[in-house]
A and B are shown apart, each in its own frame.
Chain A
Amino acid sequence: MVKDQEFLEKKASYCLGLAKKLGATESSVIVNNSVSETVNFRNKKLDESNRSDDLGISITTYIGKKKSSISSSNLLDDNLNILIEKCVETTKNTPEDEFNSLPDKDLLAKEVKDLNLYDDTHIENDQKIDYLKKLESAASNDKKIVNTESSFTQNKSNFILANSGGFCAGYKTSSFTASSVTVAKDEKSMERDYEYSSKCFLKDLDDAGELGKQAADQTIRKLSPKKIGSEKIAIIFDKRIAKGILSTFASAISSSAISRGTSFLKDKVNQKIFSDTINVLDKPDILKGLGSRNFDSEGVKTDTLKLVDHGILKHYLIDTYNGKKLNLKSNGRCGGTSNLYFENGNISFKDLLNSKSKSLYITETIGHGSNIVTGDYSVGATGFLVENGEFKYPINEITIAGNFKDMFKNITLANDLEFKYSTNSPTMMIEGMVVAGK
């Protein structure tokens, strides 16, 4: 089972003590343990079982404004002694950086709220197998489905974050994740799609049969795709793709990209970057939230931030180092966002589909085509042609392209937000993008 707080705390304080003894003026340490058990099915039969037990420690030592860090999966004292000695030695030989420091004490989290992130339930492999049997039987109902691969993972994690300034806190989290990937085939084509559910609590997980059926339906509808011509057209992003656009926005407002000058959103605070109706929130205290947390990876408390208010950018995502560089206080976003989402728009999914006589509905993109320096966006895409609110036929082997600066100003959101991932968006329409096809 996952190691308890006492074990992790003991290791953490051992490291802080040793670092101090060896000459570090400040230090911080994270100790974590994660135990996962996964069962995979393929075509209704057991395919793989996998158990992982991961221990990890990472230590950062400071000597004045000099800094260095080490990490290891070997927590034996012998090994830690060698590594911490090496770390302190390296710190001495690393040049100073005036912005290096632990977080300001008054910004550290004072309390650890119970955000309901840990479910003690243990699901045995036999129960996972029952779930997957049900899932795969629903997924392979249709003859067009020729391959199914499904998986169920239980994860339990625990961690301690401590620093030489007296901060020491951590807590357990759990997740239960089921997924199904199906392949469908007809005379002309073979296509793949998936469905997925991940929750902190086992009892909240999607029904196995529903999940399997959804994966199969989403795959079958992609069969016999066509390629369309190149044109300027409104693009509707399925929620699972729309959230990626929100993630790109988050990387573009990270204080590291801003302080290095490598973001197209540099110097845009208090300026309008989205259309009037758009609000973006990062809310860390959602009960059972997949991105919920009490403090960031430096121990700084995290409050809810309204990052975008009626289209206007209000905050960057700030950690201690880059905050000092930008002359701003950390807002507890070292390590990124928590539960990040677009607030709902005021139009239904159906009305959004209906709002144009012709549009493209995108369900999958491939390629790493987001450039946060220039804002340029160009990715391969798969989806459907929508005419007068109806899905006409599947489309593939096209690309969609634009620039985020323009795209952000042309976003319309539906009112169908749900908290399926840690970053979430309602269905999103962006007008004026270019499709390249035939």
Chain B
Amino acid sequence: MSSMSNFFEKSDLSRSEAENIISDTLEKCDDGELYLENSKSESILLDDNKIKNSSYNSDLGFGFRAISDEVVAYSHSNEISKNSLKQSSENLKSTLKSVKGTYNHEIPKSNKKYYENINPIEQKSLNEKIKILNEVNNYLRSKDDNIKQVTANFLGEQKSVEIIRSGGETLTDVRPLIRFNVSVMLEKNGRKETGVYGVGGRQSYDSYLKDDNWKSVCDEALRIASVNLESKPAPAGEMKVVLGPGWPAILIHEAVGHGLEGDFNRKKTSAFHNLMGQKVASEGVTIVDDGTIDNRRGSLTIDDEGTPTEKTVLIENGILKNFMQDRLNARLMKTKSTGSGRRENYRHIVLPRMRNTMMLNGNQTQDEMIKAVDKGIFAVSFGGGQVDITSGKFVFNCTEAYEIVNGKIGSPIKGATLIGDGPSILKEVSMVGNDMMMDPGIGTCGKAGQGVPVGVAQPSILINKMTVGGTKL
């Protein structure tokens, strides 16, 4: 483990002293660990014809967690020192005054790895990155006279984590992550519209950008902006909706993903908590959450509690099969962790979270779906979404969509919000396509103030009824 951080190297705290404090604090607790993290990240931004920002961040800290029954005590600090860890230990002990549990030493092991131990930031020089950003700017501005603004940026990160459990068992992971984004704004006849596209994942910048591949990212951003420049007001009301493959799987993420996270179901605050084993989607709909796809943005070798990730079947042929679990919620619900325990960084507690959430292929074609719609919309690209897991209502925001009239794709329509009901929307899916696609690898999911990288995938689908939030009555 050459590039693994040595967290105790410059500290007055030795590893064995740390292990003693951990074991002493967690004795009689049901679970807990010391989580150490060292992350290095960079951002290089071109905007308005200039390199606007080149910044580098180095973040180091620990989070110490003790769990007794349902109660979690957590303490974090940036200072990896004897004093600081002892202070944290005191904080945890003072919360969990009279614990009498038995520490669960069991944690599954796996040798599988889903990405390489690399530091993407160092694999490409600053000058090379600046050169590509300038090329992006020139390429786009020479392509279309209506371009009034180009923004492009590189985001790179290497995060090293170490989890030390009571008794000294140690689990480690080094996680690379990159993103490359392009945004363009067009102006024509006084009207302005934007288009955004990006790519990313857990590999080097060059894996995504070699052979002038950045040009296809530019072309896609420009294409979306051009379509929007011709868009007319979106309709308002309930209608049929065809979703394209890939990114539109944000629907799956919002409509059912969050509602199937273990914490909300243990607390019975999710609209899905009493639906296990029941039909929650049309026949032919299968949804998995998979942390094991090589190099994907949402993939993890181990989760932030040290559990190897897996492919979790959430809904199989319409039937609700599993929730996503971290160790705490799994123990309280008498099941096992699905390797879904995640945190944004050491400042935050672990929560059950999604990884790559995917609806699997059916056997129909997108053409058949469009033909089946008299009046509706065809949504191709999305900006984001949100859900109220208790009422089950969710939204997502179209960034590229078209009207469908009499089985044919018509004019582009302005960005609009679509709203639906999570527990019932998947029963309205009447066709599932055979064209499953992963998203381009730029998604971030927010929950309880914590953002984590995730992925989504789906084939084209036809939904019988959804409310489209346009302005045209």
Q: Are B236 and A382 in contact (CB under 8 A)?
A: no
> Provided the pairs A189-B391, A378-B469, A401-B470 are in contact, do residues A74 and B55 lie with their beta carbons within 8 angstroms?
no
Q: Are B416 and A95 in contact (CB under 8 A)?
A: no
Mask of A53-97 contacts with B, CB within 8 angstroms, 1/0: 111100000000001111111111011000100110010011101
Interface segment out of the listed B76-84, B154-162, B365-373 = B76-84
In the bound complex, how far is the Cα of B54 from the Cα of A97, in angstroms?
Answer: 12
Interface segment out of the listed B173-181, B205-213, B382-390, B434-442 = B382-390
In the bound complex, how far is the Cα of B388 from the Cα of A42, in angstroms?
Answer: 19
Q: Are A93 and B417 in contact (CB under 8 A)?
A: no
Decide yes or no whether B95 CB sits under 8 A from chain A: yes
Decide yes or no whether A209 CB sits under 8 A from chain B: no
In the bound complex, how far is the Cα of B71 from the Cα of A71, in angstroms?
Answer: 34
In the bound complex, how far is the Cα of B269 from the Cα of A369, in angstroms?
Answer: 26
Q: Are B193 and A74 in contact (CB under 8 A)?
A: no
Interface SS of B by simple majority: strand
Interface segment out of the listed A243-251, A254-262, A351-359 = A254-262
Decide yes or no whether A146 CB sits under 8 A from chain B: yes
Decide yes or no whether A275 CB sits under 8 A from chain B: no
The contact of A90 among B56, B59, B394, B396, by CB within 8 Å, is B56
A369: chain B residues within 8 A (beta carbon): 395, 397, 415, 417, 469
In the bound complex, how far is the Cα of B130 from the Cα of A424, in angstroms?
Answer: 41
How many chain A residues have a CB neighbour from B under 8 Å?
78
B54: chain A residues within 8 A (beta carbon): 67-69, 90, 94
Q: Are A53 and B76 in contact (CB under 8 A)?
A: yes
The contact of B77 among A53, A125, A147, A262, by CB within 8 Å, is A53
Q: Closest CB of chain B to A101's CB: distance in Å?
A: 14
- Chain B contacts with A in 58-94, Cβ cutoff 8 A: 58-61, 70-79, 84, 88, 91, 94
Q: Are B149 and A260 in contact (CB under 8 A)?
A: yes
Decide yes or no whether A434 CB sits under 8 A from chain B: yes
Q: Are B469 and A436 in contact (CB under 8 A)?
A: yes
Q: Are B386 and A380 in contact (CB under 8 A)?
A: yes
The contact of A399 among B74, B94, B191, B417, by CB within 8 Å, is B417
In the bound complex, how far is the Cα of B84 from the Cα of A93, in angstroms?
Answer: 38
Interface segment out of the listed B44-52, B280-288, B302-310, B354-362 = B44-52
How many chain B residues have a CB neighbour from A under 8 Å?
79
A225: chain B residues within 8 A (beta carbon): 391
B71: chain A residues within 8 A (beta carbon): 45-49
Mask of A187-219 contacts with B, CB within 8 angstroms, 1/0: 001111000000000000000000000000000
In chain A, what residue has the closest Cβ to B74?
A50
> Provided the pairs A75-B78, A260-B48, A373-B194 are in contact, do residues A90 and B126 lie with their beta carbons within 8 angstroms?
yes
A55: chain B residues within 8 A (beta carbon): 78-79
In the bound complex, how far is the Cα of B387 from the Cα of A292, in angstroms?
Answer: 33
In the bound complex, how far is the Cα of B91 from the Cα of A125, in angstroms?
Answer: 10
In the bound complex, how far is the Cα of B149 from the Cα of A259, in angstroms?
Answer: 11
Q: Are B72 and A436 in contact (CB under 8 A)?
A: no
Decide yes or no whether A389 CB sits under 8 A from chain B: no
In the bound complex, how far is the Cα of B48 from the Cα of A55, in angstroms?
Answer: 33
In the bound complex, how far is the Cα of B54 from the Cα of A15, in angstroms?
Answer: 18
In the bound complex, how far is the Cα of B234 from the Cα of A434, in angstroms?
Answer: 11
In the bound complex, how far is the Cα of B390 from the Cα of A436, in angstroms?
Answer: 22
- A sample of 22 inter-chain contacts (CB < 8 A) reads A46-B71, A47-B72, A49-B72, A53-B78, A54-B347, A71-B58, A76-B10, A79-B60, A83-B58, A95-B51, A97-B51, A183-B269, A230-B473, A367-B396, A367-B419, A368-B386, A368-B397, A379-B469, A380-B417, A399-B418, A401-B417, A437-B237
* Total CB contacts across the A-B interface at under 8 A: 242
In chain A, what residue has the closest Cβ to B57?
A71
Decide yes or no whether A396 CB sits under 8 A from chain B: yes
- Chain B contacts with A in 381-430, Cβ cutoff 8 A: 383-388, 390-391, 393-397, 414-421
Decide yes or no whether A232 CB sits under 8 A from chain B: yes
In chain A, what residue has the closest Cβ to B88?
A51
In the bound complex, how far is the Cα of B48 from the Cα of A407, in angstroms?
Answer: 30
Decide yes or no whether A435 CB sits under 8 A from chain B: yes
Decide yes or no whether A376 CB sits under 8 A from chain B: yes
Decide yes or no whether B268 CB sits under 8 A from chain A: yes
> Provided the pairs A53-B78, A261-B148 are in contact, do residues A146 and B194 lie with their beta carbons within 8 angstroms?
no
Q: Are A366 and B236 in contact (CB under 8 A)?
A: no
The contact of B416 among A189, A192, A373, A401, by CB within 8 Å, is A401
In chain A, what residue has the closest Cβ to B420?
A397
Q: Are B149 and A261 in contact (CB under 8 A)?
A: yes
In the bound complex, how far is the Cα of B420 from the Cα of A129, in angstroms?
Answer: 39
Q: Are B185 and A373 in contact (CB under 8 A)?
A: yes
In chain B, what residue has the closest Cβ to A379?
B417
Q: Closest CB of chain A to B81's CB: distance in Å?
A: 10
In the bound complex, how far is the Cα of B419 from the Cα of A373, in angstroms?
Answer: 23
The contact of A95 among B50, B55, B267, B391, by CB within 8 Å, is B50
Instruction: Please provide the 6 A-B residue pairs with the shortest distance between their CB atoms, ordered closest to farther.
Output: A399-B469, A436-B236, A380-B395, A367-B395, A192-B390, A49-B95
In the bound complex, how far is the Cα of B193 from the Cα of A157, in angstroms?
Answer: 41
Decide yes or no whether A52 CB sits under 8 A from chain B: yes
Q: Closest CB of chain B to A61's CB: distance in Å?
A: 11
Decide yes or no whether B243 CB sits under 8 A from chain A: no
Q: Are A262 and B194 in contact (CB under 8 A)?
A: yes
> Provided the pairs A87-B56, A398-B419 are in contact, do residues A94 and B386 lie with their beta carbons within 8 angstroms?
no
Most chain B beta carbons < 10 A, residue from A149, A259, A373: A373
Additional pairs, 16, CB under 8 Å, beyond known A94-B51, A379-B469, A399-B419? A48-B72, A52-B77, A53-B79, A69-B54, A70-B56, A73-B61, A95-B51, A97-B50, A146-B268, A149-B267, A190-B390, A262-B149, A369-B415, A378-B416, A382-B388, A399-B418
The contact of B419 among A87, A380, A402, by CB within 8 Å, is A380
Q: Are A83 and B56 in contact (CB under 8 A)?
A: yes
Decide yes or no whether B163 CB sits under 8 A from chain A: no
Q: Closest CB of chain B to A402's CB: distance in Å?
A: 7
Decide yes or no whether B199 CB sits under 8 A from chain A: no
